[in-house]
Amino acid sequence: MRKTEINKIPGRVWVFGDYREYFQNRITLQLIAKARDLAETLNTGITVVLLGEQIHQYAMEYVAHGADTVMVADHSNLKEYEVETYTTVLAKWAKEYQPEIFLAGATSFGREFFPRLAKRLSTGLSADCVDLEVDPETSLLVQTTPSFGGELLAEVITPDRRPQMATVHPGIFREFPHNSEAIGRIIYPEVDVFSEPRVKVTRSRPQSKGKVSLEDASVVIAGGMGLGSKGQFELLNELAAILEGEVGATRPAILAGWADEDRLLGQTGKSVKAKLVISIGTSGALQYTTGIQGAETVIAINRDPNAPIFRIADLGLVADGKTVLPLLLETLRRRI
């Protein structure tokens, strides 16, 4: 397709297509759903940029989940992610087609190459955003990100430079359902930047996880320091088993050795999109609630009626978790 034709495509909100572990890693689909809001306010469309080899099926998936256009660089040199080559191709495309907004997931992957890309494009980047909106008056992207160690939520704008770039925490936005009738364009612009990379990646593969992914669980039972001891915390495993869910934990509970690191919820851990989260003995610090705000329903149990967790909970119970938990288990056991 010629550049003039591509320029006719109104997709000025760009999303980086991260298709690794596609069925578990939903960040690109979550970003497409958020990009829809942004694009509508800006009266434009969404373009997903996709790099790899033989990746047409992912392009089709992104269209089915709401992308208007998917721009694909399909080349054997792009088969494995390599930071220099990816940055070079994306910088070239961004300079040529000038997106207004460019988003990527705040995964270890996005955190590595997106800052490099922002530097190449001489623009700003907000890392680990938890919300994004377009200000209807200024048409600027307002990028909400935790700052000062998570004590404050900062709203960042990029008034002059383009694109406005942000990485976004996984699990915050909800993806659109798959629509096989959706219509979008898949285009293959020329890619001619293939200098021999200094690092050649021969193969990459995901680390094996062992347990069921917390991010995919439909019920999450989360515990914090209010549970008081490892013994009490272990009751959460029983509750999770009865409700067919997974256990999550706050940072201090993990530091206390009550749960493994892979159970961490929050800004520095995982974000869940469960139907139900039951959060027991957690104060509701912002760094923690970032991880559960994507849940459909949050039930909080805390003995302090002023605990911040009640501000985000759909249902709150002011009670001693150490008393409620055994009672709840006993009631549920009788029903099995």
Ligand X SMILES: Cc1cc2nc3c(=O)[nH]c(=O)nc-3n(C[C@H](O)[C@H](O)[C@H](O)COP(=O)(O)OP(=O)(O)OC[C@H]3O[C@@H](n4cnc5c(N)ncnc54)[C@H](O)[C@@H]3O)c2cc1C
Residues in contact with ligand X by CB under 6 A are: 149-150, 224-226, 250-253, 264-269, 281-283, 285, 287-288, 301-304, 307, 320-322
| 161 and 99 Cβ atoms separated by less than 8 Å | no
Minimum distance from residue 283 beta carbon to ligand X (Å): 3
Closer residue to ligand X (CB): 90 or 222: 222
| 322 and 301 Cβ atoms separated by less than 8 Å | no
- Residue 30: closest CA among 46, 42, 41, 43: 46
Cα separation, 67 vs 57, in Å, equals 14
Closer residue to ligand X (CB): 241 or 318: 318
Structure tokens at 114: 């997106």
Minimum distance from residue 335 beta carbon to ligand X (Å): 24
Closer residue to ligand X (CB): 114 or 288: 288
Q: Token match 């709840």: residue?
A: 328
Minimum distance from residue 62 beta carbon to ligand X (Å): 29
Closer residue to ligand X (CB): 182 or 312: 312
Minimum distance from residue 264 beta carbon to ligand X (Å): 6
Minimum distance from residue 156 beta carbon to ligand X (Å): 17
Burial tier of 292 (Cβ tally within 10 Å: 0-12, 13-18, 19+): buried
Cα separation, 212 vs 202, in Å, equals 29
Minimum distance from residue 323 beta carbon to ligand X (Å): 8
Closer residue to ligand X (CB): 49 or 221: 221
Closer residue to ligand X (CB): 116 or 303: 303
Contacts of residue 193, defined as CB under 8 A and 6 or more positions apart, other chains included, come to 85, 88, 89, 92
Cα separation, 27 vs 53, in Å, equals 20
Please list the alpha-helical segments (H only) found in the chain.
Answer: 3-7, 27-41, 56-64, 83-97, 108-120, 230-242, 251-255, 286-289, 309-312, 321-335
Closer residue to ligand X (CB): 115 or 252: 252
Minimum distance from residue 257 beta carbon to ligand X (Å): 13
Quickly count: other Cβ atoms within 10 Å of residue 38's Cβ.
Answer: 21
What residue type is assigned to position 194 of the chain?
F
Closer residue to ligand X (CB): 75 or 303: 303
Cα separation, 140 vs 316, in Å, equals 37
Minimum distance from residue 274 beta carbon to ligand X (Å): 16
Number of separate helices (H) and strands (E) present in the chain: 10, 15
